[in-house]
Amino acid sequence: MTAASYFTGSDEAGSAATLKDDERRERLAIAGLSLPALLLVAVCLIIPVGSLLALSFIGAQGNLSLENYQRLIDNKAYLAIFLTTFEISAVITLICMLLGYPLAYFITLLPPRAVGFAMLAIILPFWTSLLVRTYAWMVLLQKQGLVNSTLLKLGVIDEPIALLHNYAGTVIGMSHIMLPFLVLPLYGAMKAIDHDLIRAAANLGAGPIVRFWTVSFPLSLPGLGAGALIVFVLSLGFYVTPALLGGGKVTMVAMRIQKSVALYPNWGAASALAVVLLVVTALVLLLGLWIWRRNRGNRPVMS
Amino acid sequence: MTSLPISIRSLTKAHGALTVLDGVDLDVRSGEFMTLLGPSGSGKTTLLMVIAGFIRPSSGQVLVGDKDMTRVPPHRRDLGMVFQNYALFPHMTVGENVAYPLKRRSYSKAEIADKVNAALKIVQLEALSERYPSQLSGGQKQRIALARAVSFDPRILLMDEPLSALDKKLREHMQIEIRDLHDRLGITTIYVTHDQREALTMSDRIAVINEGRIAQVDAPAALYEKPKNLFVADFIGDSTILPLHREAGRLMLNGAPIHPGCAPEAIGTAPHLVIRPEKLEVLRDGQLPAGQNLIEGALRSALFQGDSVLVQVELADGAVLSLRQPGRHNLPEPGHRIRLGLPIADTVVLAGA
């Protein structure tokens, strides 16, 4: 029996040509199975982004023009909006790293049953609408809100402090919403660290603090980097929370895009802003990928 | 290098109702290669982890030299350890891995470089100091783990099944290499394995552990030739174990007398005969040399196994015993009667459980 007849069960000639036919048929089947997914990507991603790109090159008179991009360069207000967006995203990433690292590390130290509970507590907010979470922060942060009234009662402050409709409110709300995106990949990376490595470090003479800085921390860095990148990129395009908690005092790119569409019906200007934001975000992602690849090249982690 | 003795005194470790170690006493001599041998779940790895300081015992003491180490944290114990999966730091080069314990101690940069080189030289891998662990083969990782464990001149070396991830050929090669390293450094070594052949090959003495207790501590040959209980007899080597009967103060196997190699009174209740397959000799009809016990049965099969022939003999009561001999000489046809001689000196009789 030949190889082909062995698999098909027939005793017909299993020549190289029939084997090649089998392979071609198999490939066609795989291509057919992936077709729905490809169509979905085309309809939901490529067409909208393509039309956005096209819109950004159409001027006020419906002609082909670069005026939408020219305006972004000429008007210094746009540069300020981009800088604000980057600054807020960077601040939120930093806050999430500072809050998320100890949190993720703490979860790795919990007994298995408590870990499930902690993970649930982190994932639970995802099941609540973003809008609801943002309104919850408005309730907490307002002048007569829980935060201010508690601080007043404790005598920490003499009069309510402004936590809402400003920079502080935006940062507090966004940090809360972004925190799980940092904690989840970071916890995954920490969990994957072989416990024997920590034991080996102890055996070789490293106390708890040295063990953390020489073994646990460097090995958790890929997870921290991945989480920080996700938080930063998501923050760049964030709209709802800064719009509601910023009270018009904080303008991020996504809010300016919404304004261009809703207030001035200028689709060209909005599209140009969106395209620039998309390109910048893509560049940030590529930079992250490049750093990751370079580190992996230096320090291969596969075993 | 000064090596130190280790003394383990009535060590017990219990998790709730489960007792992992049950009053273990063990003395390891200075410079000795001691192997903890036992089936999985016997507590041998737990014992090693208690010595290393990773597991706190429920009671008992671990002494190194004359110092009580029981409450000393692992990073102050100054023991070298080789882990089962090597535990090399993946984000450090080979050189950085070996330098890690040295950096934790007050050595100058030049001293660290010298000691790293010396340690890598011991395992003959000086050339790999810039590589990362993921770029090494299993055998190389094993050697680097060994170099790291001895680079800071520890007083004691602990090894937790260090060869279990290697293939058979490399494993046998590394057994000799590790034993050789031990002899050169003269370092007190405690080695954990479940592989009896590995234990017999490498050790000065072996502590056989079963269900959290030490079943026997002895030199490999003594352990093999003179097991003190049925667990050791069964666990070490391919033994056939047959129950014996007592008749008028004599030990009987299927109605034939068996003369034990020790005084029969010392055996106690439920005597069992332990037969090593290479101790049996096929006898010709009518022949019975002095000083041998005679066992009769029928040949069931003779299997060629390369270096030897494995012969299975069925006794009158249906029990099957194995013997091993270099060739097929003297063997009758399958199903025919076969007479076997077992030297009285090698006739081990032990009390049953």
**Cross-chain residue pair B87–A196, CB shorter than 8 Å:** yes
Q: How far is B265 from chain A (nearest CA, A)?
A: 50
How far does the CA of residue A99 sit from the closest CA of chain B (Å)? 25
Query: Which candidate from A203, A214, A300 shows the least CB-CB separation from B81?
Result: A203
Contact B217, B206 (CB under 8 A): yes
Q: Which residue ranges of chain A lie beneath pLDDT 70?
A: 1-14, 296-303
Distance from A196 to chain B by nearest Cα, in Å?
A: 6
Contact A205, A238 (CB under 8 A): no
What's the pLDDT at A155?
A: 86
What is the average pLDDT score of chain B? Answer: 91
**A75 compared with B52, residue with greater pLDDT:** B52
Q: Note whether A301 contacts B81, CB cutoff 8 Å.
A: no
Residue bearing the bigger pLDDT, B256 or A224: A224
Q: What is the CATH number of domain A69-298?
A: 1.10.3720.10
Q: How many CB pairs under 8 A join A and B?
A: 76
- Interface check for A219 against chain B (CB to CB < 8 A): the answer is yes
Best probe of the B interface among A193, A196, A203, by most B CBs < 10 A, is A203
pLDDT value for A2: 47
User: Is the CB of residue A182 less than 8 Å from the CB of residue A96?
Assistant: yes
CA distance A234 to chain B (A): 29
pLDDT at position B264 is: 64
pLDDT at B287: 79
Q: pLDDT tens digits, residue range B298-321? A: 999 999 988 889 999 999 888 999
The residue among B120, B82, B78, B128 whose CA lies nearest residue B99 is B120
- Give the sheet arrangement for strand B18-28, strand by strand: B18-28, B6-15, B59-64, B67-68
Q: Do A194 and B80 touch (CB under 8 A)?
A: no
Burial of B314 (0-12, 13-18, 19+ CB in 10 A): middle
The residue extents of the domains of chain A are: 3-56, 69-298
Is a pLDDT exceeding 90 seen at residue B27? yes
CB contact under 8 A, A202 and B54: yes
Of the pLDDT bands very low, low, confident and very high (cuts 50, 70, 90), residue B235 is very high
Q: Does A189 touch chain B if contact means CB atoms closer than 8 Å?
A: no
Smallest Cα–Cα separation from B159: which of B100, B211, B87, B218? B87
Q: B244-351, which class in CATH?
A: mainly beta
Residue numbers in B near A219 (CB within 8 A) = 90-91
> CA of B136 to nearest chain A CA: how many angstroms apart?
9
Q: Do B79 and A203 touch (CB under 8 A)?
A: yes
What is the structure's pLDDT at B329? 79
Domain ranges of chain B: 6-234, 244-351
pLDDT value of position A75:
87
The architecture of the domain spanning B6-234 is 3-Layer(aba) Sandwich (3.40)
Q: What distance in Å separates the CA atoms of residue A32 and residue A39, rounded to the nearest whole number?
A: 11
| Cβ neighbours of B84 in A, within 8 Å | 196
pLDDT tens per residue across span A90-114: 999 999 999 999 999 999 999 999 9
* Residue-level pLDDT at B353: 63
